[in-house]
Structure 1
């Protein structure tokens, strides 16, 4: 973690992470261009707020399926991914194929990993969640067998294998809740790297604009036609519970389905 010296106004309070990336080789087949949408339609009107194109970047194909079974892979490099808050690793399998995976805490260059339904619960190994011992940290977990990892993929994410029964395995999440996962779903042993990402401070608005995120204006600073909180003489607060510009409650409203 590096705290910048305030040599310019944009550097004041700026905090970045010091990552020592190790690049092995550039694989163009593992990187694709994604057509970017600036949040406007064919008439140039804004249809999605707070969105712009940002700088050019290529999407890295990540192997969330871990479908290469019973073949050892060697970690060749640790790289930056512009589409994620975690780092990625380049894996060279013994049959000559290269793939990207989510980088895990404690996984180093020249370490070996393997994907199989049942194997040793070593960091980086992928296996069926029913075969992982209780109390082990897991990440990159599938929700439907064979569909690829869907949860616990962000920086610093992990869950503990809490208990098991005949059909399901229960994971204890970071917030204390229990999540029920099918026993035939795959999971990766370990914790996602870059857990200090939450400490980053951008320093200036230009950093967000380069990411493709435009400024967000407060609702109370708008006119009544633009936002339910808008209007009023001088500085006033809205006389209602906080809502979005569409009128939906933004605090305390449950959005997840049971």
Structure 2
């Protein structure tokens, strides 16, 4: 999907954004439970229609979302005069018309339908686990699933991981493949880019002082001098799995 720089400079919709307060890896007591998180650029969260029951209209633009790697499509509904966001599929362009909860059989890119009305062998994304719920599966860039088989009540889908799962035939999915499939080739140019994304540095234990880590200290460069452990001296690679064979004692008669 070819994008222009100008399409990503469009400010987000005020009616579809809200404040976003990241947790910085801390729990309700303020203690760090997920390390190496924090900082980052200020973000606004975009309200995205993941149910895909009512959003339909004309695609008026494609936008960047700081909270995900895939692009967003801004959809204008001429009937309600309202804008909304959806996860953009590949090959979607400005001016395309999309429909939600459609009953037409076919390969309409960006149309959402129940699995009952999607052709067998079609590529889908934004798949919900249960009928009426938000799409939870196949939302990453370049992700897609394929419908392999259908019965009167279930549909068999092959996911991106290669797993085969059965879903209720009333669940909703979207035709197409998630946009920005080349995001996995993105390389960070400097350490500051990681800080913009909210990723803090990872420090090796051998580079610390003895008071900070069991691997720390020593004269010059050392490799730890012991099996790898956590900062709390627990084995990082799990307990030893080697079984020492005990030699039987010889029967000595006196």
2:114 match: 128
Question: Matched residues in 1 for 2:192 and 2:16: separation?
Answer: 29
Q: Would the aligned equivalents of 2:141 and 2:179 in 1 still touch at CA under 8 Å?
A: yes
* Structure 2 spans left out of the alignment, 5+ residues: 239-254
2:195 match: 209
Question: Are 1:107 and 2:92 an aligned pair?
Answer: yes
Q: Would the aligned equivalents of 2:208 and 2:217 in 1 still touch at CA under 8 Å?
A: no
2:169 match: 183
Shift of 1:25: 6.7
Secondary structure in structure 2 of the residue aligned to 1:82:
coil
- Residue of 37, 46, 53 corresponding to 2:39: 53
* Structure label with greater radius of gyration: 2
Question: Are 1:140 and 2:126 an aligned pair?
Answer: yes
- Residue of 79, 82, 89 corresponding to 2:73: 89
Q: Would the aligned equivalents of 2:148 and 2:158 in 1 still touch at CA under 8 Å?
A: yes
Question: Are 1:78 and 2:62 an aligned pair?
Answer: yes
Q: Would the aligned equivalents of 2:227 and 2:235 in 1 still touch at CA under 8 Å?
A: no
1:37 match: 23
2:241 match: none
Q: Would the aligned equivalents of 2:130 and 2:168 in 1 still touch at CA under 8 Å?
A: yes
1:106 to 1:238, Cα distance in 2 relative to 1, 3 A? farther
Shift of 1:165: 2.1
1:32 to 1:169, Cα distance in 2 relative to 1, 3 A? same
Secondary structure in structure 2 of the residue aligned to 1:146:
coil
RMSD: 3.1
- Residue of 139, 160, 163 corresponding to 2:146: 160
1:28 match: 14
1:127 to 1:244, Cα distance in 2 relative to 1, 3 A? farther
* Structure 1 spans left out of the alignment, 5+ residues: 1-16, 251-258
Number of paired residues?
230
Q: Would the aligned equivalents of 2:101 and 2:172 in 1 still touch at CA under 8 Å?
A: no
1:135 to 1:224, Cα distance in 2 relative to 1, 3 A? farther
Question: Are 1:235 and 2:223 an aligned pair?
Answer: yes
Q: Would the aligned equivalents of 1:65 and 1:147 in 2 still touch at CA under 8 Å?
A: yes
Question: Matched residues in 1 for 2:191 and 2:21: separation?
Answer: 24
Secondary structure in structure 1 of the residue aligned to 2:173:
strand
Cα deviations across residues 169-219 of structure 1 (Å, max 9, x unaligned)? 111123322122111100000001100001000022110111111112345
